[in-house]
Structure 1
Amino acid sequence: MSDVHLKIEEIRKRKGVTKSHIARYCDRTPQWYSKVSKGEITLDVITLQLIADALEVDVVNFFNSKLSVTFNLKQKQVI
């Protein structure tokens, strides 16, 4: 899952959101989220969006900023 789990944890801690809150929001167990936070589970797009919603952030915040910059540059070129 690359470093997505690290970014999720960074945002979760910065916002003061509990692991239990995210697990409940995703209709999962705290043990599941513990595995997520350690990078032991590969998350699908729907689950990533649920976690982003639980943290009240855009899902793009979980990905490398270089990816976001590249994506934004390509979008500007298309317009």
Structure 2
Amino acid sequence: MKPVHLKIEEIRTRKGVTKTHIAKECGKTVAWYHGISIGRRIPNVESLQAIANALEVDIKDFFENQLSDTLSEDEIESEKRVI
């Protein structure tokens, strides 16, 4: 399970978007985004949505693998109870 800040950075790098661009689009400082990018600052939902908008992705893209992992674990637990 990949931490959200790493998933954001993966998407940002893949798209070739700079940290400065994201900060500017969010109306924040580069230091603000840098804190998020290294996991020192935990963004709230509003900030995550602003970053998603700056990257032109859906906010769920930051969580898709984590949600799938969680659902898989829940499904496994359900199967154990049936057996």
What TM-score results when the alignment is normalised by the length of structure 1? 0.80
> What's 2:6 paired with?
6
Distance in 1 (CA, whole Å) between partners of 2:68 and 2:54 is 21
Distance in 1 (CA, whole Å) between partners of 2:12 and 2:41 is 17
CA contact (8 A) 1:60 1:68 kept: no
Distance in 2 (CA, whole Å) between partners of 1:13 and 1:23 is 15
1:5 deviates by: 0.3
User: How many residue pairs align between the two structures?
Assistant: 69
Tell me which stretches of 4 or more aligned residues in structure 1 moved more than 4 Å.
none
> What's 1:47 paired with?
47
User: What RMSD, in angstroms, separates the aligned Cα atoms of the two structures?
Assistant: 1.6
- Distance 1:50-1:68 versus aligned 2 partners, 3 A rule: farther
> What's 1:20 paired with?
20
Taking only the aligned residue pairs, the percentage that are identical comes to 55
When Rg is computed on C-alpha atoms for both structures, the one with the higher figure is: 2
CA contact (8 A) 1:52 1:58 kept: yes
Q: Which ranges of structure 2 fall in alignment gaps of 5 or more residues?
A: 72-83
